[in-house]
Each structure stands twice: as structure tokens, then as C-alpha cells.
Copies of this chain bind each other. A is one copy, B any other.
């Protein structure tokens, strides 16, 4: 069987299964999630054995320590997958809810019903637990899923896929509700992202390079999560205690995450007062500072920032700092350089905050809060399949609702168009 015909058959099966899972009752979907959890729990030895094969191959292929760590399954990580399934079972089911009901002059009653997207394709890299995260969110939101994991995790993913199959079958759902691609051939990805008849949306999870390649080649809508070049702007009317706390937390709470601050903007009139104290706090934590000319004049240890620094997502203990004239220049700088992920203003001036919230064009805009709050769990989504830096469909953290759409529903009593 060629890759093309294999993927076409995966697609056909997914489309058929999507009809069944779209119509499934909440209780049946929750039973399936718990049955998959049971299957994982009963299959620990197999999962660990399959993962050992991947780990051995990874070591032989020279994967670095960070990648090997991401690839590894152990008892604790299996517990994590099981808990994840239980948590998704407890989330409210978005499907079927009818909202915005209104009577129209023609006599029809109009509303919107929340429905699954249909078939979701997920393309991800080394971590095998993504297989369970993604499958569980798609299942709960009534979608069929086609999962394509990294080639380095193929044995682990196939072992997890077998557990998912058993769980689905145990409750009488078709096993094709979740399909895990069983080949490491890259052509399978090429097919998956160019089958609009069978796939309704693609969610790539991985590095910026992977996501850009997929977006460029896809013929199916892609929910993209590119980079997070997040900003905090400390306004002239900021409370300086809040400013220090937020600026330190946004940068140093965790470095390798997309909602960490990468650039700090400071209003000129408070720069002299604020920057020395802030520099001391950052230096204490080992954060390298790169500043504009005015910043460097105030902070001796700061290096001169280049144009590229304003674009950079460091994901590291490095921070770019720019002194700006005020709110206008801050908004302009952010809308020019940010990746439209998350930005925050620190100010006690309500009018300035309102302008910042409205005019900054990012998926999350904040007032007097750390950018680190831009997160599916902090936003109460329960779980997230990614953080979208797109504007179409879903923006920011994408949970169950981001995997759904709404259709129009019309209730009549024999109405016809005049």
C-alpha cells in the first residue's frame, strides 16, 4: 500500500468515525476517556517496554539529553496521562449547547448550536504523552483525530494507540475515532495536511520551524502556535512596587515558556528611578540585560541591544529593555515587534490601561498582571491543545471550545420565504 492510499484510507475512516463521535452522548465520551485510562493502567509494562525501544534507538541515533528526557515514559508520566484523562472527563461538554436564541420577524426562531469541527489532525514532536492529551481533548469535543507523532517515539505511540483502541472498543465506540499514524515516512505528513475532504483542521505542536513548514504546505486550515515575544510596559503612572513584582515574575518565573516576557518597555519619566533597582534584581537572578541607548546610560551592566533583539524570543535568562517616551511609543513598538502573543501594561491610570488593552493587537492583553497568566489552566480552560497566535477561529490558549464550531439552527412551524 502506498503512503497516499494508506492516508486516504485513514482519512475515510476518520470521516466515518467523526459522525459517530459527533453524535455520542457526554456520558459515553466520558466512559471512553476512563476506559482508555484503565487500559493505560493495565498496560504499564508494555508501555515501558515500547518506550525502552525508542529510548535505545534515540541514544543510538545521538539524540541529546533534553530530547531523550522529553521522549522518556516512566511510572510517574503514565500516572500523569491517566490523571489527564480523568480531568478531561470532568470538564463540561461543549457540544450541543444552543445559544443566542432569537425570534425573527419572519416567524422563525434562530439560534446557534455548538458542534465539533469533525476531523482534527495533530502533528507533534517527541513527547509521547501528547498522544493522550490531544486524543482526549478531541474525543471530549466530539472530534475524530488523526495523530502523527515524532518518528523517535513511534514504538511508544503505537503502544499508547493500542490502549486508546481498547478503551474505545470497551465502550462500543469505533476505534477509528482516534487513529495514530503507523509509519515514520515523512510523506504521511504531506498527505495529512493536503486532504481537505477528510481533515477539517491541523494543529501542529512543536518548534517554530515545524509549524512554519506545515503552514506553508497545508491545504487545510492550521491552528498555529508560533513564538511568544511578550512585552511588559511600565507606564509613567505605574505603581512601582507592582511594576517590580510583575517585571521580575514575567521574566524569571520560568525562562523556557512562550508566555515569559522577552522585552521590557519603561516610560522615560520613571526609568531613572526604576531601572537601577530592577537591574539589581535581574542581575541577582543571572539575567543578561540588553538595552537601548538610554537604558545603557542608566544600567552600566547592560549590553547594547541590536534591532534583532526587539524581535527575539530568547526562551532564556536574557531580557531586552527599551526606554520609551510614553504610552503611544509603547503601543507602536509592541504592534511592530511583538509576536502578538501576550502583552501587559503596569499603570494606575485607567484611561492609559484602556487604550493599551484596546490598541495592542495581541491574543492576550493584560493590566497590572504578569504575562505568565496567559495559559489554558490559568484561564480555566481545564487543558489546552496549544496557544494560537492566529486571529482566525481561535486566539490565545485553545481548549475544548477551540476544537468546536457553531452552526445556525432554525426552528419553524412551516415558514416559507415570501
- A residues sitting closer than 8 Å to B (CB atoms) are 19, 22-23, 96, 102, 104, 106, 108, 110, 113, 115, 117-118, 200-201, 215-216, 219, 221, 239, 241-242, 245-246, 248-250, 253, 335, 344, 355, 357-359, 361-370, 372-374, 378-380, 390-393, 395-397, 405-417
A373 CB contact (under 8 Å) in B108, B362, B372 = B108
**Which residues of B sit under 8 angstroms from A411, Cβ to Cβ?**
366-369
In the complex, the answer to whether B409 meets A379 with C-beta atoms within 8 Å is no
12 A-B residue pairings within 8 Å (CB atoms): A22-B361, A23-B355, A96-B358, A106-B373, A118-B361, A201-B392, A216-B219, A248-B416, A362-B407, A367-B411, A369-B411, A369-B416
Most buried by B among A344, A409, A410: A410
- Complex Cα–Cα for A245 and B407 (A): 25
Minimum C-beta distance from A236 to chain B (A): 17
Q: How many copies does the complex hold?
A: 2
Minimum C-beta distance from A186 to chain B (A): 21
Closest to A96 in B: B358
**Which residues of B sit under 8 angstroms from A108, Cβ to Cβ?**
366, 369, 373, 378
Closest to A346 in B: B414
- Complex Cα–Cα for A233 and B104 (A): 23
5 further interface pairs, Cβ-Cβ under 8 Å (given A106-B378, A113-B365): A108-B366, A108-B373, A245-B414, A367-B411, A370-B417
A406 CB contact (under 8 Å) in B22, B344, B395, B412 = B395
A118 CB contact (under 8 Å) in B242, B365, B391, B405 = B391
A367 CB contact (under 8 Å) in B358, B367, B412 = B412
In the complex, the answer to whether B405 meets A392 with C-beta atoms within 8 Å is yes
In the complex, the answer to whether A379 meets B408 with C-beta atoms within 8 Å is yes
In the complex, the answer to whether A407 meets B395 with C-beta atoms within 8 Å is yes
In the complex, the answer to whether B412 meets A369 with C-beta atoms within 8 Å is yes
Closest to A247 in B: B416
**Which residues of B sit under 8 angstroms from A117, Cβ to Cβ?**
391-392
Given the interface contacts A115-B361, A379-B110, does A412 sit within 8 Å of B23 by beta carbon? no
A104 CB contact (under 8 Å) in B104, B200, B380 = B380
In the complex, the answer to whether A113 meets B358 with C-beta atoms within 8 Å is yes
Minimum C-beta distance from A42 to chain B (A): 34
Minimum C-beta distance from A353 to chain B (A): 8
- Complex Cα–Cα for A104 and B380 (A): 7
- Complex Cα–Cα for A415 and B371 (A): 10
**Which residues of B sit under 8 angstroms from A253, Cβ to Cβ?**
416-417
Most buried by B among A23, A368, A373, A378: A373
